[in-house]
Structure 1
Amino acid sequence: MEIDAADLDGPTIGQVSDRVGLSPDTLRWYERIGLLEAVPRDAAGQRRYRALDLDRLELLIKMRATGMPLTEMHDYVALIHAGPASRRDRLTLLETHRQRTLDRMAALQRDLVVIDRKIDRYRNLLEHDDAQHHPG
C-alpha cells in the first residue's frame, strides 16, 4: 500500500487515544488483531492515523458500546475486505445487531420502570416520615 505524504500528518496514537477514549494499548491491539488496517508510521516510527482509520474506529467503538461481540466485529471487517460484493452481508450483519440493540433497550426500559416504582415508593415513605417528624 502506497502511503500519501498527507497521511503522515495525521494524529498520533496519543492524540487518537485522547480523542476517542481508548487507550493506546487498545488501539495497538485493534490493529494487531486486524480490526484496523496497519496504521502508517512517520519517519520517527510513530503511528499516524488517517481519516479512514478514525472513521473505522468510530464505528468499532459504537459496535462495542452497543454490545457487538468481537467475533462479529471481525466478521464485519472481513466483509469489508471482501469488497463490494459483500455489501448485502454487511447490511444484514448491521441490521441484526441493530435489532439486538433495540431489544436490549426495550428490556432496559422495562427494568427501569420497576426501579422507578421503587424510587417513588421510597420518596413517598420519606415524605411521610418528614411530615410526621416536622408537623407544619
Structure 2
Amino acid sequence: MSTIREISEETGISPYTLRYYEREGILPYVKRDSSGNRLYDEESKEWLNFILALRTTGMPLSEIKHYVDLYQEGESTLKLRRQLMLKHKAKVEKDLSETIKHLEQINYKLALYDMQEKGLTNMLP
C-alpha cells in the first residue's frame, strides 16, 4: 500500500490531481485507512497507470470517465469498452505516424547540417 504522497512522487501527479481523479470517478477503487487517508494498492496503481497512458496519448477526462463507468457496469459493456479503446488506438496511431513524419524531417535537417559542417554542401533552409 502506498500513500497519496508516495504515489504523487512516483508518478509526478500532484495530490490535488489524484484527489480530483478520485472525486470525479476517474480513478476508482482507492482504499482508505481508519483515519480516512487514501491508500493505493496494486489495483489502484494499475488503474492510475492506465489513466496516465490514456491521458498522455490525448484521451479527454470525460472519455476516461465514460470508460470507467462502463467498466463498473460489468461485462455487458465489454463491446462498448473495446470500441472506445479501438477508436482511441486509431487516434494514437495517427498521431504517432505524424510524429514519426516530423521526426524524419528533423533527422533530414540534422543530416544536412552534418554535411555542411564537413563542407560537402551549400547552406539549405
- What is the TM-score normalised by the length of structure 1? 0.80
Residue 11 of structure 2: aligned partner: 20
Distance 1:32 1:45 in 2: 14
Distance 1:122 1:80 in 2: 51
Residue 48 of structure 1 aligns to a residue whose secondary structure is strand
More strand by share: 2
> How far has the Cα of 1:11 moved from its partner?
0.9
Which of these residues, 58, 75, 97, is aligned with residue 67 of structure 1?
Answer: 58
Tell me if 1:43 matches 2:34: yes
Distance 2:71 2:101 in 1: 36
Residue 29 of structure 1: aligned partner: 20
Which of these residues, 76, 89, 96, is aligned with residue 85 of structure 1?
Answer: 76
Residue 40 of structure 2 aligns to a residue whose secondary structure is coil
Q: What runs of 5+ residues in structure 1 fail to find an aligned partner? A: 1-9, 130-136
> How far has the Cα of 1:68 moved from its partner?
1.0
RMSD: 1.6
Residue 47 of structure 2: aligned partner: 56
Tell me if 1:107 matches 2:101: no
> Highest Rg: 1 or 2?
1
> How far has the Cα of 1:38 moved from its partner?
5.8
Kindly provide the amino acid, as one letter, of the partner of residue 51 in structure 2: L
- What is the TM-score normalised by the length of structure 2? 0.87
Kindly provide the amino acid, as one letter, of the partner of residue 17 in structure 1: S
Distance 1:40 1:118 in 2: 52
Distance 2:116 2:37 in 1: 60
